[in-house]
Structure 1
Amino acid sequence: MILQVKPATLIKRYKRFLADIELNDAEETTIHCANTGAMKGCAEPDDTVWYSTSSNKKRKYPFSWEITQSQNNHFICVNTLRANQLIEEALYRGVIKELSGFTDLKREVKYGNENSRIDFLATYNHVPDAYIEVKSVTLLDNGHGYFPDAVTTRGQKHLRELMDMVAQGHRAVLLFAVLHSGINDVAAASHIDPTYAKLLKEALLAGVEIIAYKATFSLKLGEVDINVVEKIPFIER
């Protein structure tokens, strides 16, 4: 995925969906932030913000925060809308070997007993369909990656739904999209959401598959190229 981006300096993030930045000409402006999470370690004052520009004249804030370049030079895709786009590209390229060979791939399919939508439903010949839930991982803590970065009742619900799919004879896959260049393994953040961590252990025992794939970042000439290319370990802790 190639995004056209420009740099700025972060002043502060606030109200979840907004951030103030300083442009290269020292002008200050407000941009949209599509990330509703805590963004721990991804939104420190004086970090470099790489933002895209919308051509939609109706938008109040035409700039969108895409990438954080941290002060220790890590690249982090903070626009959570990109996670599913990047995973979809990787699925069609056959990068995610565990899910290759599908005959059909649908997005946002209604399923489950708790009024959910699965990120992807992959259909295969002669084997069960695969229900694929994607989670974006951007929290780096003590050299390791963790999910979630805040308590997530929605994420807990998704784990219950995936376990139900396994019980019905389907494949169910939790796919961590690691969008932080400094993360090389992923674990459940039991220190942040112990209920989620407990459910994740239950999901593993129930037969939910858990895999993690990491994105690479290449920045040049006003654009960033992001691609999910590398499998990294999921660690039970």
Structure 2
Amino acid sequence: MKYEHIQLAYFLQRKNRFVASCRLKETNEIVDVHVKNTGRGKEVLVPEATVALNFLPSSKRKTAYDLVAVKKQDHWYNIDSSAPNEVVFNALLAQTIVLPKLRGRITLVKREVLYGKSRIDFYFETDQGEKGLVEVKGMTLENNRIGAFPDAPTTRGLKHVRELIQAQNKGAHCYVIFVAQFANIDVATIHEAMQPELKETVQTAMTQGVSFLCYACQVSASQLEIVKEVPFDLEAPFIDPLK
């Protein structure tokens, strides 16, 4: 995932879930920007944090910039909620992400497929006649080399896992893939303190055969690239860095 028109800025404040104020590094101009992630991001979006803005002016947009990444200490974190889907879509087609439990090779991937009352990110088929669903979640919370999801309660994510349980029980191969917006983690888990019900539902899903995977990414101001798979462990001892 590459961005072609990046400008650096300093984060000032979040006006609401979708809009923030930033000060351009080159000109000191204060601009409103679209935040491409409705999660809180409170551990990285702090006043004066260096951020990467993708400049995409259009008469159809309310702002000319998308906030796509933020720098914390020496590391960039991609917070573009659309980026994980693009990365996984390309990786599935290129077979650089290999889904466990499949006999065949993926030959078809469709985006945004309606299942039950949800839109699941991807539907796929293999050359062995297998069919399945993949839901992708961006992971932006990390502490002590442990990545965790979510950074805010997610009713949508909870519903998706429940839908995948139903699909798995009807014979589909179902997966949740977490795309961690950092490379320096050793394990991924569910942020139980943030949403205990999600952990319970994920535990049920795992016992029913739904697979949970996590891929860590190398992030720069202008790029997001998968570099390694990390284990997903529900019992990893995650501590919220802001508690």
> Normalising by the residue count of structure 1, what TM-score does the alignment of the two structures yield?
0.92
Q: Could you tell me how far 1:196 is from its partner in structure 2?
A: 0.2
Q: Could you tell me how far 1:217 is from its partner in structure 2?
A: 2.3
> Normalising by the residue count of structure 2, what TM-score does the alignment of the two structures yield?
0.89
Give the root-mean-square deviation of aligned CA atoms: 1.6
Q: Specify the alignment match of 2:90 in structure 1.
A: 89
Q: 1 CA distance for matches of 2:191 and 2:60?
A: 39
Q: What secondary structure, in the 3-state scheme, does the structure 2 residue paired with 1:173 have? A: strand
Q: List runs of 5+ in structure 1 lacking aligned partners.
A: none
- Residue identity in the other structure for 1:96: I
Q: CA 1:182–1:45 in 2, change beyond 3 Å: closer, same or farther?
A: farther
Deviations 1:30-73 (A, max 9, x none): 11112111113120111111010113223120111011111x12
Q: What secondary structure, in the 3-state scheme, does the structure 1 residue paired with 2:110 have? A: strand
Q: Would you say the 8 A contact 2:57–2:65 is kept in 1?
A: no
Q: Which moved more, 1:193-202 or 1:38-47?
A: 38-47
Q: Would you say the 8 A contact 1:95–1:229 is kept in 2?
A: no
How many residues of Structure 1 are paired with residues of Structure 2 in the alignment?
230
1:102 aligns with 2:106: yes
Q: Specify the alignment match of 1:36 in structure 2.
A: 38
Alignment of 1:205-216 (within 5 A): 205-216=207-218
Q: Specify the alignment match of 2:3 in structure 1.
A: 3
Q: Could you tell me how far 1:218 is from its partner in structure 2?
A: 4.3
Q: 2 CA distance for matches of 1:153 and 1:232?
A: 25
Q: Could you tell me how far 1:127 is from its partner in structure 2?
A: 4.3
Alignment of 1:139-158 (within 5 A): 139-158=141-160
Q: List runs of 5+ in structure 2 lacking aligned partners.
A: 236-243
Once superposed, which parts of structure 1, at least 4 consecutive aligned residues long, lie more than 4 Å away? none
Q: Could you tell me how far 1:142 is from its partner in structure 2?
A: 3.9
Q: Would you say the 8 A contact 1:215–1:226 is kept in 2?
A: yes
Q: Specify the alignment match of 2:227 in structure 1.
A: 229
Q: 1 CA distance for matches of 2:171 and 2:60?
A: 46
Q: 1 CA distance for matches of 2:69 and 2:205?
A: 32
Q: What secondary structure, in the 3-state scheme, does the structure 2 residue paired with 1:97 have? A: coil
Q: Specify the alignment match of 1:134 in structure 2.
A: 136
Q: Specify the alignment match of 2:204 in structure 1.
A: 202
Q: Which moved more, 1:225-234 or 1:188-197?
A: 225-234
Q: 2 CA distance for matches of 1:126 and 1:93?
A: 17
Q: 1 CA distance for matches of 2:185 and 2:42?
A: 14
Q: Could you tell me how far 1:191 is from its partner in structure 2?
A: 0.8
